[in-house]
Structure 1
Amino acid sequence: MERAQKLHDSGYNCAQAVVCAYCDAFGLDEQTAFKMAEGFGLGMGLKEVCGALTGAFMLAGQKNSGGCERAGETKGKTYKMTKALAAAFQEKNGTYLCRELKGIADGNVRRSCAGCIEDACQLVEEFLCK
């Protein structure tokens, strides 16, 4: 979690911070992970699903997927995991949408980016690092 916050403070977006903080644990090349996660910050650039949570989704895929050689066999398990991660994040924050977390429409900021990164990392630890 501390590494994710430091990465975010150094310019990584929320998705990059979460994914890259766990590269070693999930066997990922950080340069590739950084590049792939870039379009997922700021709620995919659209203020949709929180980037930090999306980073956790990417890690769920890395953990659960059987890869190309098992195409289609493991996606159901991964979808179930992303659904559980989203539900847990929403339970903590009332929403998983960036625009609602940031209070863009109503001015009610529900969670800071640092808080969202913290929550996503806690969920990665709870759901994926077992």
Structure 2
Amino acid sequence: MSKADDAHRLFLKRFTCSASVFSAFSGELGLDPDTAKKIACGFGAGISKTGNICGVVSGAIMVIGLKYGKCVEGDDAATGKTRALTQAFIAEFTKKNGSINCTELLGYNLSNPEEYAQARDEEIFVTKCPAMVRDAADILETILKTGE
């Protein structure tokens, strides 16, 4: 089963988009998937329905940081690599989906209760979000392979 399949399966079980992506990769990077779900939970729905960065993008950036991020003083190369891979992920995700902003991607401002209800009623979270979960995981797998 691919990471995209794992992330998609988790999203369909009603974990946030960010938690689905982050936890699908976390185990092999030394972080318990349940802990990863907790860490990433608040990033879903454009950072807790604030209309900001899409949760799948946040989840992917957390994976990149977990794998390559700076944890030793003076290791500025790790910061540089993390930033470069994050930029590559964002460029590819934007190329495929048109934006990394949740409101722009979904066409609804989730911070507005009426728009959130409309998005839910129109099944946006069922029709659009699962594909973006897959896209993020697929792009992330490629980015992680090129980063090695």
Alignment TM class, shorter chain as reference: 0.7 to 0.9
Q: Structure 1 vs Structure 2: percent identity of aligned residues?
A: 33
Counterparts in 2 of 1:96 and 1:64: CA distance versus 1, 3 Å: same
Shift of 1:9: 1.1
Note the residue ranges of structure 2 that are not aligned, 5 or more in a row: 110-118
Shift of 1:24: 2.4
The equivalent residue for 1:119 is 135
Higher helix share: 2
Return 5-14 or 69-78, whichever deviates more: 69-78
Note the residue ranges of structure 1 that are not aligned, 5 or more in a row: none
CA contact (8 A) 1:60 1:81 kept: yes
Shift of 1:22: 1.3
* Cα distance in 2 for residues equivalent to 1:112 and 1:47: 15
| Structure label with greater radius of gyration | 2
* Cα distance in 2 for residues equivalent to 1:81 and 1:32: 24
TM-score normalised by length of structure 2? 0.77
Shift of 1:49: 1.0
The equivalent residue for 2:144 is 128
Cα RMSD between the aligned structures?
Answer: 1.9
Q: Map 1:1-130 to 2 at 5 A.
A: 1-45=4-48, 46-67=50-71, 69-70=72-73, 73=76, 74-104=78-108, 112-129=128-145
Shift of 1:76: 2.1
Q: Residue by residue, what CA displacement relative to the aligned partner does 1:29-75 show, whole Å, maximum 9, x if unpaired?
A: 112211110110011121211101111100100111242x3365222
> SS in structure 2 opposite 1:70?
coil
